[in-house]
Amino acid sequence: MSHCDSDCQSLSLLHYQSSSSSWNHIAVMEAFPVLDIHTGNVRDVWPSLKLGIMTADFIALDLELSGLGDRKKLCSKCLEERYAGVCDAANTRSIISLGLSLFRSSGQEDEAVSQSAYTVQTYNILSLCSQSYTVEPEALRFLRRHGFDFNKQCSAGLSYTRGSPQEEVEKDISLNHIFYLLVFSHKPLVLHNGLVDLVFLYRNLHLKLPLKLSTFLADVEDLFPSGVFDTKYIAEYHVRSRASYLQYVFRTCWEWNNEQSKSMNFSFLPPPSSDDMYMFTLTTHTASTLPVCKQYAAHGWCPQADECTESHDLTNILHSEKLKSVVLKNRKRRLKAKERRKKSKVIKSDLPEVSAEDIINPFSHPDSMSAEGHTELETSTDVASHVLTTCKDVTKLADGHRAGVDAFMTGVCYCIMGAQLSNRKLSLQDMRNKVYLSGKTLPLHVTKGNFGKISSLHMEKMKLLKAKAIL
């Protein structure tokens, strides 16, 4: 749920107008394609979208919303109150775009080098609620700042009706259709900070929300029997990432993947149409000397936003972390050397000390020379070329803001963190149906548990949809 925890996108945008056959196998290191879906092309894209969903191993999803309501309610210590606050927002706000990234294992796993390959299709679906809804000025400014096309959304967004009455679902291909296609595919659903996404999906594309959180969780478990996975929960509780907002997790995962000689490889199917195709490219740039904003580095947002005088650039953030890491390594190495010399009864005055200058410039000391005769500065501080030269750096989104991009990044994080955890003998299935809760030490379990049961309205709706076979 990247709209909650990271306000900055990370990819530059190019409109792709060449024939689709020219990029059957694009490497994600260079670029990845996103197809915009709207009323003008949905019928042409529908067969490809349907096939992609039905054959995917898992589906990553992200939403862009017209607002989130009262932030205090969303962070309430009481879970029932927090749920009620999200319900209030979902009842009055709408989904304005839905991103889907479909990941299918391409069956090219190489056990000798522990590599896995995925074929990916990514879609950005513009949507327009057919009923009145609230739009928050803050949300408008954020989306407009990142190039969101409100004119296109209003003129060509796929319609949907809250509560998805059956007569509306049968009329034409709508966002409700796509939601039920996801539901009946029985594929694992991957989100980032996904509680708000789940509530908005349920209210806007399925039914009125249950009054009790336990009933809602039971219904969601029934909607997605293969499980819901939250990459923010995985990053924070299991990978132990320094920060868990989507942009940061994606960058650190991507760096790790390149350090592991690309244990995960991603390629793309040719699109059904190139007219609405956009290529998101990963470009390089060097870190600046501007001081890092600690608030943004830790949480992915800053209350001062564009008025902040410190850097919100992730390259600078990673650069700063690399420097701190090298300082700590130097200090630990010298302390270990000191202990060894004590044991060998070396005169204390001959031992190296950590000076204030070492903290400011950790590479000025002769001990920082590596065995090859190069300083650690050469191998650690050129973050623009080391942190992501192999994976290319990620810059701010130049011309647009896409839920599809966030969905793709969420899916990539899921794959790579799965590889990281497997090295520690952990499985992603251990994280199944556990959703991140801010300010809590434990996740929210998406299960009916001992006190919840599936709502009668949900059961009736599902029976009706299966009987009508709307898909």
**All structural domains of the chain with their residue ranges:** 2-284+391-468, 314-386
SS3 for the chain is CHHHHCCCCCCEEEECCCCHHHHCCCCCCCEEEEEEECCCCHHHHHHHHHHHHHHCCEEEEEEEECCCCCHHHHCCCCHHHHHHHHHHHHHHCCEEEEEEEEEEECCCCECCCCEEEEEEEEEEEEEEECCCCCCCHHHHHHHHHCCCCHHHHHHHCEEECCCCCHHHHHHCCCHHHHHHHHHHHCCCEEECCCHHHHHHHHHHHCCCCCCCHHHHHHHHHHHCCCCEEEHHHHHHHHHCCCCCCHHHHHHHHHHHHHHCCCCEEEEECCCCCCCCEEEEECCCCCCCCCCECHHHHHHCCCCCHHHCCCECCHHHHHHHHHHHHHHHHHHHHHHHHHHHHHHCCCCHHHCCCCCHHHHHCCCCCHHHECCCCCEHHHHHCCHHHHCCCCCCCCCCCCCCCCHHHHHHHHHHHHHHHHHHHHCCCCCHHHHCCEECCCCCCCCEECCCCCCCCCCHHHHHHHHHHHHHCCC
Q: Which of 21-30, 114-123, 299-308 has the lowest mean pLDDT?
A: 21-30
379 compared with 329, residue with greater pLDDT:
329
Q: Which of 129-143, 178-192, 403-417 has the lowest mean pLDDT?
A: 129-143
Where does the pLDDT of residue 326 fall: very low under 50, low under 70, confident under 90, or very high at 90 and above? low
Q: Which of 7-11, 297-301, 428-432 has the lowest mean pLDDT?
A: 7-11
319 compared with 275, residue with greater pLDDT:
275
Residue 87's identity, in one-letter code, is C
Residue 433's pLDDT is: 97
Fold of 2-284+391-468: Nucleotidyltransferase; domain 5 (3.30.420)
Where does the pLDDT of residue 328 fall: very low under 50, low under 70, confident under 90, or very high at 90 and above? low
- Beta-sheet pairing, 264-268 with 116-129: parallel
362 has pLDDT over 80 = no
Two tokens, residue 213: 């959180």
Residue 172's pLDDT is: 76
Average pLDDT over residues 136-164: 87
340 has pLDDT over 90 = no
312: number of Cβ within 10 Å = 22
Average pLDDT over residues 183-191: 97
pLDDT-above-90 percentage for the chain = 44
37: region left, alpha or beta (phi > 0 left; psi from -120 to 50 alpha) = beta
Where does the pLDDT of residue 210 fall: very low under 50, low under 70, confident under 90, or very high at 90 and above? very high
